[in-house]
Every structure is written in structure tokens, then in C-alpha cells.
Amino acid sequence: MLKSPPINKASHYSLSGQLLLWLMLCLFIILSVSSLVSYSRAYHFANLAYDRALLRVALALADQVDVVNSKVVIDLPEIAKDMLQYDKDDYINYRISAPDGSIVVGNPEITPPKIAFKSGTHLYYDDVLGNEEVRVVAYALPVINSELKGSLLIQVAETRTKRETMAFEIIEEMLIPQIMIMLVTALVIFLSIKRSLLPLNQLRDSLAKRSHEDLSPVATGSAPQEITPLLNEMNDLMLRVKVGVDFQKTFVADASHQLRTPIAALQNQVELALREPVSEQVRHGLENIAVSTKHLSRLVQQLLTLARIEPGTEGHYPFEEVNLTRLVQAVTAEWVPRALKKSIDLGFEAESGQDLVISGNAFMLKEMVSNLIDNAICYTPNGGVVTVALSQKEDNATLQIIDNGIGIAHDQQELVFNRFYRVEDSDGEGCGLGLAIVKEIALAHHASISIQDGLPYSDAGGHITYGTNVTIDFKAYDQQ
């Protein structure tokens, strides 16, 4: 029995899964880059807004600074100091330095900027105050109409809590829609991939429903452009296989036709020779030739039948309504003389009082029943029993050929359907093609075939064996 090769799971992957994975990876990279850029821009604009607010604080502080008699005077009430230093989110510190660098007022831990800048301008820079990262604005306030030369340095430092909070809020508002868009895009891509791969699934289903003998071309009309070349190559391969199979079938059919005439002539000549007075040695040789010729004739007949019933040959017959009950009864009657020669009780039984009608081909069905009865008679000893039974169960018509012959071992019940396979230690005259023909015809009629144990048989020594029960289940579509 042919088996599919094992699938290498390590190299087995889903095309739709791979496409979705790569597209999602691209979307994730785009989202990550977009998040970084968005955070950078959001932090930049948050910094810009709070830097301007910080500068206004420094300018407001500068308005309260004056130089009197070369002394720096700051008119800043305590309540103004408290309001200046109070913030619900951040800590604000300030420092005012004289032109010589000495501290006039404020937090001495605030370091002056490392970069020089012009009087009347301001400068932003990052610094660390205590253990906190701070943003500092430095404003150079020019001294006018005073003996002091240079500029007063006004510095205001603020922690970064508000800036980071604002940046995260902005990025959050930007990322949520982007994530939603990404999820919707992923869903659309997934559905699009499934929809795009639908022709492949349809192609798979159509190939799965095909018989192993159906080598007709695969339709490429509705196939995507990407797989059309693959289908064309597949069709070319199937065409080459079909040519080879047809050649073999034609050769078998032609050879069988050509062999029938000389074999028949040989049988006639041997029979005529046996009627003449010859020596016992010559007669024995002629009898062996007669037996071998009979076997060869049967083999040729079965090969011809096998060639005619296979699909794709000129002998393929159309299906029509067939009265299975009458057909099986008629074929059984034809084999009665052969059964009587071996004293075999050949009988026909029909459980249903009505005729069973199926869709099939009468020629092939006759060949199938004939081969089954022939096998049963051939492998049943003299005085045995062969029963051809026909019954109906629901919509199935069941044909059984039951005997009390030599039987078939359980481990060989599937093998006997292979061509030219014969049961071990059998003394029958078969060629190993009978059950192969039966299976081909059953498959052509979409019927199932199975083998079970048949009737019991007791030999001279009292040893009990069981014969064979070949069961075929047809789909009955009408009753008469």
C-alpha cells in the first residue's frame, strides 16, 4: 500500500503565517521609530514651552533688581519669594550674582553657565542641583548708570517633572491612535491574506477530491498570476504522466487482444492432440500444456478486463441504472455448473423482497461478481459452501460473497487487493489479479470493499478454519 512521505515539521510552515509575521514586524518597526520620533518632538516642544515660562520668571525677577550706589538691591517681598519658589509639580530655585561673580541672593548651589553669552541675552542649559536634574535659564542683566561694570547674572532653575509629564501625555495621546491603527491594519492584512490565498485552498480541495487516475489538467482560469506558472508546469507534468500511463494501458490492451487468438488456437490443438492415441509420457506433457494454456488464457482475459475498466481507456463505460439484484442472481446462475464440478453448494440470497437499483455499469459489475465467485469456488475445497448474499441497510446495498474455503490471514487481507499478489501456501489456480480487478471496479462505483472471516470449515483432523467474506457496500439511489 502506498503511503505519503513523512512531513518534515522543521521545514513545514504556513505561507499566510509568514506573510503576516513579516508585515507585523514591519509595522512594529514603524511604530517603534514613530514612537521615538514622537517622543523626541513631544519632549522638544514641552521643553520649549516651559523654557519660555522659565524665562518669563527670570525677566520678572530682573524687574525687581536695581543698582543703588554701586550696590545691588532686590525689591522682592517675602510673599513674592514664596510664590516664586512654589510649584505643585516642580521645585524652583534662583540665584542672582554680581558682575564679579559674588552671590547677591539665592541658592549658592546653582552653578553659572560654562558658556559665555552677551549682556542682555539669555541661555538655557541642563544641570544637576542636589540629586535632581534641573533646567536652568541664565539671563545677563546689563548694569546702566552705575559704577559697576558688566552684567548681573540672574539664574532660575526648575526640576523636570512637568516637562516629562507633558511629554508622556503627548506621546500617549499620539501612540493610542497609532496602536489602534496598527491593530486594525493587522486585522485587515490578515483577512486580505486569507482572501488572497483562497484560490490555493480551492486548488487544494479540488486536488484532494481527485482520483489517483484523474490526470486531467488543473484549471488555471481563476488562479493568481503568481501560481499560474506552477500550475502550468504541473499540468505539463500530468500530461507527460498521462501519456506514459495511456501507453502502458494501450500496450496491455493490445497485447491481450493479440494473445487471445494464438492462445485459443493452442488450446484447440492441445485438445485435439489429447484425443489421439499417444504414449503416457506424451499425454502427461500435453495435459501440463493444457493446464498452463488455461492459466495463460485466464491471465490474458483478466489483463484485458483490467485494461478495459481503468478510466482513461477506450473501454471506459458510462454509468446508468442497474438492477443489482437481477444482475447478481444471473451471474450466480452462470457459475452453478462450475460449482457442481467440485460439489460446492453455490447459492444466492436476497434479504429484501424488492430489487436494489444502483448507478453503475453492468459490464464492470458482472466482471466484479464473476471474479468474486470464481475466487470463492477456486479456493473452496470440494463439498464446500459458497453463498452470494445481497441485502440493504438504510441507503446502502451490500453484496457479500461468503465461503468456507482456506480463508485469508488478517495480515494479508489488505495485500490481496494488490496486483499479482497471491495468498501464501494457496493451491488455487488464480493469477493474483481477481481481487485487484474487484477493487478497481468497486472504486469506480464509489463503493467500499472489505474482507472478514467467512464460514467455518473443519478438515479431516478436526481442525477448524474460517473461510472468506468479501463485503462490498454500494450507495443505492432507488428501489423498484
Q: Write the CATH number for 116.
A: 3.30.450
Per-residue pLDDT band for 330 (boundaries 50, 70, 90) equals: very high
Q: For the domain that residue 327 is a member of, what is the CATH number?
A: 3.30.565.10
Instruction: Give the separation between CA 441 and CA 368, rounded to whole angstroms.
Output: 7
Q: What share of the chain in percent tops pLDDT 90? A: 6
Evaluate whether residue 177 is within a structural domain. no
Are 247 and 143 found together in one domain? no
Per-residue pLDDT band for 173 (boundaries 50, 70, 90) equals: confident
Evaluate whether residue 351 is within a structural domain. yes
Q: Assess whether pLDDT exceeds 50 at residue 314.
A: no
Evaluate whether residue 84 is within a structural domain. yes
Are 45 and 114 found together in one domain? yes
* The CA-based dihedral angle spanning residues 371, 372, 377, 383, taken in that order and rounded to the nearest 10 degrees: -160
Q: Assess whether pLDDT exceeds 50 at residue 107.
A: yes
Which pLDDT score, from 0 to 100, does residue 332 have? 92
- Do 138 and 154 form a contact (C-beta atoms < 8 A)? yes
Mean pLDDT value of segment 379-404? 87
Are 281 and 349 found together in one domain? no
Residue 93: its H or E element: strand 92-97
Per-residue pLDDT band for 331 (boundaries 50, 70, 90) equals: very high
Residue 230: its H or E element: helix 228-275
Q: Assess whether pLDDT exceeds 70 at residue 228.
A: yes
Instruction: Give the separation between CA 316 and CA 234, rounded to whole angstroms.
Output: 25
Are 405 and 275 found together in one domain? no
Candidate from 24-38, 173-187, 213-227 with smallest mean pLDDT: 213-227
Per-residue pLDDT band for 315 (boundaries 50, 70, 90) equals: very low
Mean pLDDT value of segment 235-263? 78
Are 363 and 418 found together in one domain? yes
Q: For the domain that residue 265 is a member of, what is the CATH number?
A: 1.10.287.130
**470 vs 292, residue with greater confidence:** 470
Q: Where are the beta strands (DSSP E) in 319-444?
A: 320-323, 345-350, 356-360, 385-393, 396-403
**429 vs 281, residue with greater confidence:** 281
Evaluate whether residue 174 is within a structural domain. no
Instruction: Give the separation between CA 146 and CA 276, rounded to whole angstroms.
Output: 160
> Considering its fold, how many domains does the chain have in total?
3
Mean pLDDT value of segment 448-463? 79
- Among 218-222, 316-320, 346-350, top mean pLDDT goes to 346-350
Which pLDDT score, from 0 to 100, does residue 74 have? 76
Evaluate whether residue 94 is within a structural domain. yes
Per-residue pLDDT band for 427 (boundaries 50, 70, 90) equals: low
For the chain, the residue count is 480
Q: Assess whether pLDDT exceeds 50 at residue 479.
A: no
Instruction: Give the separation between CA 357 and CA 361, rounded to whole angstroms.
Output: 12
Q: Assess whether pLDDT exceeds 50 at residue 17.
A: yes
Evaluate whether residue 285 is within a structural domain. yes
Q: What are phi and psi of 110, to 5 degrees?
A: -75, 120
Q: Assess whether pLDDT exceeds 80 at residue 388.
A: yes
Are 250 and 274 found together in one domain? yes
Are 302 and 331 found together in one domain? no
Q: In angstroms, what CA-CA distances link 214 with 88, 199, 313?
A: 83, 20, 12
Q: Assess whether pLDDT exceeds 60 at residue 280.
A: yes
DSSP 88: S
Q: Where is the domain boundary, 251, 277, 309?
A: 309
Evaluate whether residue 10 is within a structural domain. no
Q: Assess whether pLDDT exceeds 60 at residue 10.
A: no
Evaluate whether residue 366 is within a structural domain. yes
Are 429 and 378 found together in one domain? yes
Q: Assess whether pLDDT exceeds 60 at residue 294.
A: yes
**224 vs 312, residue with greater confidence:** 224
Are 157 and 38 found together in one domain? yes
Are 356 and 239 found together in one domain? no
Which pLDDT score, from 0 to 100, does residue 2 have? 42
Q: Where is the domain boundary, 126, 149, 168?
A: 168
Q: Assess whether pLDDT exceeds 60 at residue 257.
A: yes
Per-residue pLDDT band for 213 (boundaries 50, 70, 90) equals: low
Mean pLDDT value of segment 55-65? 85
Which pLDDT score, from 0 to 100, does residue 123 have? 92
Q: Assess whether pLDDT exceeds 60 at residue 361.
A: yes
Per-residue pLDDT band for 4 (boundaries 50, 70, 90) equals: very low
Which pLDDT score, from 0 to 100, does residue 12 have? 63
Mean pLDDT value of segment 16-23? 81
Are 347 and 248 found together in one domain? no
- Report if pTM > 0.75: no
Residue 360 cell numbers, joined: 453503475
Q: Residue 255's domain spans which residues?
A: 228-309
Are 88 and 157 found together in one domain? yes
Q: Assess whether pLDDT exceeds 60 at residue 346.
A: yes
Q: Assess whether pLDDT exceeds 80 at residue 424.
A: no
Q: Assess whether pLDDT exceeds 50 at residue 263.
A: yes
- Among 55-64, 336-345, 455-464, top mean pLDDT goes to 336-345
Q: Where is the domain boundary, 309, 336, 363?
A: 309
Candidate from 206-215, 299-308, 399-408, 468-477 with smallest mean pLDDT: 299-308
Q: What is the mean pLDDT of the chain?
A: 80
